[in-house]
Structure 1
Amino acid sequence: MRHIGRRGVVVLGATSLVAPLTLALGAAPAQAASCTASKGPYQKQVEKFLGRPVDGRQSAADCSAIRAFQNKHGITPAIGYAGPVTWGVMDLMNKQKAVGKNPNKDGKCPTNKGRIACVNLTLQLSWVQDGKKLVYGPVPVRTGRDGYETRTGLKKVYWRDIDHVSTLYDVRMPYSQFFDGGQAFHSVGLRMWNPPGSHGCVNMTAKDAKKYWSLLKKGDDVYVYGRKPGT
């Protein structure tokens, strides 16, 4: 498939699109009538993450805290259940935090390319580096979901459109910087941990997408590697 932005430029691949319109516009998920009393398989891990008493038993207060986290990050159903999706988001947050300011510690993003934007799909992190020097980041990102994976490898920014609009869903994609057949960096009005992910683009907060816009230019390298959890 292909879609055409309002400026008349053809963009190959529907993968540059974000989540369906309701999610892309930040619509709140449907709310359950009440919290669940069921103990989840990741009860203790979730309790620890949320600073709750770690006893492995679901209490009303536990359920309320879990449900608040789910609502904040768009995890559905938001019923306060400590299941694999909720723990997966928390576990990813822990791993992102552990990276600190040394995202390329493993040396997988090339350091011989000068200015380059790196995307680690496994950790859902991106940053800009110049040689071995960290220029910006790392910042959390939201990449392609299962079946719409953000493609790996060495790319180049080939087109930039600060006010891009996807006509397929009539969804704005501000600060779009396309680097692979319709896949692009761009901002969205969603939490970066909102599951299950994009349709291939690298979603960013408005602040980070704007900064990337100021740092990158047409022809700059982009390196994508790893594998998004759940794909």
Structure 2
Amino acid sequence: MGDIRRRGAVALGITGLVAPLTIALGAAPAQAASCTTQAGPYQKQVEKFLGRPVDGKQSTADCKAIKAFQTKHGISPNIGYAGSVTWGVMDLMTKQKAVGTHPNRDGKCPTNKGRIACVNLTLQLSWIQDGDRLVYGPVPVRTGRDGYETRTGLKKIYWRDKNHVSSIYNVPMPYSQFFDGGQAFHSVNLSMWNPPGSHGCTNMTPKDAKKYWSLLKKGDDVFVYGRKPGT
């Protein structure tokens, strides 16, 4: 177990305080105010996503709505500026929603393995299927940031630790299920859209991590494919 524990601590995708997209922030205005008066390059798109009047002009109400979204998902600086990171998160959310209940529509996750956990890095989604039957999900996940990418390919869960704590970062990693050299499914108390991502693990909400724990077991297959935007 000592060996496994050391391996499990090497590339843990723990909580880097930041989510799914590592798109460059762009030139945000150098303004220390709590809410910027400047319109961003994605002003209209952000206004539309938030259900605001779409005029491309920054209003006090626009800024408050954008700032609230940024604060909720850990986007920094949270000054209400409609920049590329904010729009990138919103665009990803829209694409995830469009998947509906057919996450394996493209057939890329194997259907000949029985029960398998699938991870689509491109859409930052995961689900469990049995053959071509959807068992659970899809759910949003938070995978490795640039330089700490979650590795692709067919893997197997080789170690499970319900109360794991990283020996490197001293960070709790509840419901850890390791599937590749220290990379694991585990829960975090962060938004799944908190940029720029993990240190390699597949982060999940506590609810989803608990469900994965109950549905999967040691030896089950995991298939990771695609490429996370910004990596």
Instruction: Report the Cα distance in structure 2 between the residues aligned to 1:73 and 1:10, rounded to whole angstroms.
Output: 32
Contact 1:74 1:191 (C-alpha < 8 Å) held by counterparts: yes
Asked if 1:9 is matched to 2:29, the reply is no
Whether the aligned pair in 2 keeps the contact of 1:189 and 1:205 (CA below 8 Å) is: yes
Of residues 19, 35, 41, the one that matches 2:15 is 19
Distance in 1 (CA, whole Å) between partners of 2:122 and 2:93 is 12
**AA paired with 2:6?**
V
Partner of 2:38: 38
What residue is the counterpart of 1:58 in the other structure?
58
Q: How far apart are the structure 1 equivalents of 2:75 and 2:219?
A: 37
3-state secondary structure, aligned to 2:11 = helix
Letter of the structure 1 residue corresponding to residue 194 of structure 2: N
Q: 1:141 & 1:8 partners in 2: Cα distance?
A: 24
Q: Which has the higher contact order (CA 8 A, sep 6+)?
A: 2
Percent identity over the alignment is 79
What amino acid maps onto 1:182 in structure 2?
G
In 2, the alpha carbon distance for the partners of 1:169 and 1:63 equals 35
Shift of 1:11: 1.7
Number of the residue aligned with 1:192: 192
The total of aligned residue pairs comes to 218
Structure 2 match to 1:174:
174
Distance 2:7 2:192 in 1: 24
TM-score by length of 1: 0.91
Q: CA deviation at 1:168?
A: 1.3
| CA deviation profile, 1:120-176 (whole Å, cap 9, x unmatched) | 000000000000000000000000000100000000000000000002111000000
Provide the rounded CA distance (Å) in 1 between the counterparts of 2:99 and 2:33: 38
Give the aligned CA root-mean-square deviation in angstroms: 1.7
- CA offset at residue 12 of structure 1? 5.1
TM-score of the aligned structures, taking structure 2 as reference length = 0.91
Rounded to whole Å, the distance in 1 between the matches of 2:128 and 2:218 is 15
Q: Deviations over 1:99-132 (max 9, x none)?
A: 0000000000000000000000000000000000
Q: Does 1:100 align with 2:96?
A: no
Extract unaligned runs of 5+ from structure 2: 19-31
Q: Which amino acid aligns with 2:86?
A: T
Gaps of 5+ in 1: 25-31
Tell me which amino acid in the other structure corresponds to 2:112.
N
CA contact (8 A) 1:17 1:166 kept: no
Which residue in the other structure is 1:27 paired with?
Answer: none
Partner residue, 1:28 = none
